[in-house]
């Protein structure tokens, strides 16, 4: 081809370079061969990471994006290769993670004719993407790639899918690689309404017991510095959501930690007793609300969010502000003086003393002990990924997060299997940082084959398998609400995780006794020749508290194991 003509696949790679892409996670296949070939023929600096399953690719890209705030890229083939990304795309969509998913597709003249490995991935993914494209002309590639990154990263972020028929990725492209976007219907929130900010400031000035709820939206807006300065100057306590961990330092004196179903007792007490709740970037999900009709019923509720569709969806606030979180906080800080909250803060400190996060050290090895000791040994400076379940909640409680992008966990979708690939993706994005993941024996077995990816790239990640031989969170619900009728939760037949790890070339450690925790964790921290796995044989039937039963009011929080029979919850597990 002439200097002015390149193949569609080469145009895609060049356009990704223009967007600053450094890594692509994926799995090859026939319909995507022209794009994979372009990774060689264009002599690009983009590094391709070959995974062992397409779901692993999407989760790694998700972890990469969560650890940096930058969009990540996935490349897979058509049919089952594309459909294997669906769970990961949904996970990213529910948590507002920027991502570009490139899928190979059957040749354009065979679309809709049940060609080999054809699937309507455009239609299948429609409910779980922010936007999607089916490329119909090779010369549309530069414009579409540019638009995809713009849509994925602006406003409320999310995944964007680009489906590329093989004849178009192999065909000639003569378009300008810096093509102009054409998005006449895509409007972004611009600035902030100062009159609304003045209303919020006035409400705060009248408040005696204000509380800030910091959500993932504040993280996405990189509002951590502004939030810290505002809270310190105004002397307002701060609680955060699960995905908001790190947007305000959890070791800070004004921090109440995470609230909600398994949040701290003092954060939930504060929610019940505040007279004003300033929600910045949280969508008021069901894990926070408990029983919506009882939530903050005696408080003025203020909601700042960039997505207008979230306003009033779950809770009807008294004051609403559609704006970028950082922009809103910076403007609000100009109008709010130091508030008289000394008595309120002292009252909440009393709750911290009365209801501390704790665990009993006698008996067998506990997940909390492992997490707490790693927090101390790592000085709270690790980028921590989790899977989903009991260990996730204990990690949220006991591993305090002080920096944005240091907490990687599936929130809205609650996707098992994300912990290991999240950690791998984060390690690619931040190679000089300490990376660790806490996974359950159930979730780990959904994606453990990605150990091969970690070994191949010699990633010095620390993998804690908190092994209780159960699907622990479901078992906890069955114990508390279903008269301990366990069903479908016993993971009898688990492999020897250390031998499994060693078969991949991963350094393995066994941890069984509480007295060995510090020694084994120290050895794992000192091992940096590649990934290491610590199999932690923990107590089988420990339960997570505090706990608010799904659908119950926050006031019904269980701080200790109940000594009474509980009614079946009305909300989701």
The catalytic residues are 54, 116-117, 166, 473
How far is Cα 48 from Cα 74, in angstroms, rounded to an integer? 10
Chain position carrying tokens 């009898």: 492
Using alpha carbons, select from 100, 296, 322, 301 the residue that is nearest to residue 217: 322
How far is Cα 152 from Cα 154, in angstroms, rounded to an integer? 6
How far is Cα 119 from Cα 105, in angstroms, rounded to an integer? 8
Chain position carrying tokens 């007490």: 269
DSSP letter (8 states) at residue 490: B
The total number of residues written for the chain in this structure:
573
Report whether 300 contacts 319 (CB < 8 A): yes
DSSP letter (8 states) at residue 556: G
How far is Cα 366 from Cα 77, in angstroms, rounded to an integer? 43
Neighbours of 355 (CB within 10 A): 18
Question: Helix 390-398 crosses helix 367-377 at what angle (to 10 degrees)?
Answer: 40
> Which residues have a Cβ under 8 Å from the Cβ of 517 and sit 6 or more positions away?
365, 369, 370, 373, 511
How far is Cα 499 from Cα 83, in angstroms, rounded to an integer? 32
Q: How far is CA 538 from the centre of its chain?
A: 25
**Alpha carbon separation from 261 to 241, 268, 276, 557 (Å, rounded):** 10, 9, 21, 8
The token pair that represents 197 in the structure block: 């900010």
Q: Residue 181 phi/psi, 5° resolution?
A: -80, 155
């Amino acid at each position: 081809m002439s200097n002015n003509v390149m193949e569609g696949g080469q145009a895609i790679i060049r356009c990704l370079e223009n967007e600053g892409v450094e890594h692509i996670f994926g799995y090859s296949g026939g319909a995507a061969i022209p794009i994979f070939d372009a990774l060689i023929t264009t002599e690009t600096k983009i590094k391709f990471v070959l995974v062992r399953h397409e779901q692993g690719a999407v989760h790694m890209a998700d972890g990469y994006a969560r650890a940096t705030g930058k969009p990540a890229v996935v490349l897979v083939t058509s049919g089952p290769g594309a459909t294997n990304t669906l769970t990961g795309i949904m996970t990213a969509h529910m948590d507002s993670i920027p991502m570009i998913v490139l899928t190979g597709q059957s040749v354009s003249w065979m679309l809709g004719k049940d060609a080999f490995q054809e699937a309507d991935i455009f239609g299948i993914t429609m409910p779980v993407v922010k936007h999607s494209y089916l490329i119909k002309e090779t010369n549309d590639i530069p414009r579409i790639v540019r638009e995809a990154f713009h849509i994925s990263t602006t406003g409320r972020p999310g995944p964007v899918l680009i489906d590329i028929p093989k004849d178009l990725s192999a065909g000639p492209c003569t378009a300008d690689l810096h093509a102009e976007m054409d998005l006449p219907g895509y409007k972004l929130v611009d600035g902030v309404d100062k009159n609304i900010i003045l209303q919020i400031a006035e409400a705060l000035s009248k408040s005696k017991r204000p509380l800030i709820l910091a959500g993932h939206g504040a993280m996405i807006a990189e509002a951590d510095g502004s939030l810290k300065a505002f809270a310190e100057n105004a002397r307002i306590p701060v609680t955060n959501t699960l995905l908001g961990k790190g947007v305000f330092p959890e070791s800070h004196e004004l921090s109440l930690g995470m609230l909600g179903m398994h949040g701290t007792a003092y954060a939930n007490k504060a929610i019940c007793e505040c007279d004003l709740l300033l929600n910045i970037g949280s969508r008021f999900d069901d894990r926070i609300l408990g029983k919506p009709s009882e939530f903050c019923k005696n408080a003025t509720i203020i909601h700042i969010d960039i997505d207008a569709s979230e306003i009033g969806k779950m809770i009807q606030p008294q004051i609403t502000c559609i704006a970028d979180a950082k922009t809103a906080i910076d403007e609000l800080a100009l109008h709010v003086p130091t508030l008289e909250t000394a008595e309120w803060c002292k009252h909440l400190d009393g709750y911290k003393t009365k209801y501390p996060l704790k665990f009993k050290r006698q008996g067998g090895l506990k997940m909390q002990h492992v997490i707490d000791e790693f927090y101390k040994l790592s000085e709270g400076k690790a980028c921590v990924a989790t899977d989903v379940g009991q260990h996730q909640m204990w990690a949220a409680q006991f591993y305090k997060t002080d920096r944005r992008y240091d907490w990687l966990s599936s929130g809205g979708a609650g996707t098992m299997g994300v912990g290991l690939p999240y950690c791998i993706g984060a390690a690619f994005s931040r190679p000089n940082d300490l990376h660790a993941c806490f996974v359950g024996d159930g979730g780990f077995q959904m994606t453990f084959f990605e150990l091969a990816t970690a070994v191949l790239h010699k990633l010095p990640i620390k993998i804690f398998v908190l092994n209780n031989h159960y699907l622990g969170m479901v078992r906890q619900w069955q114990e508390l609400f279903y008269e301990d009728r366990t069903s479908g939760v016993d993971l009898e037949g688990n492999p020897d995780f250390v031998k499994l790890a060693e078969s991949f070339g991963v350094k393995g450690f066994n941890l069984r006794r509480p007295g060995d925790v510090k020694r084994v964790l120290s050895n794992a921290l000192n091992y940096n020749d590649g990934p290491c796995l610590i199999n932690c044989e923990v107590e089988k039937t420990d339960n997570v508290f505090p706990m608010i039963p799904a659908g119950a009011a926050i006031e019904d929080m269980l701080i200790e194991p109940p000594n009474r029979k509980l009614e079946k919850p009305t909300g989701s597990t």
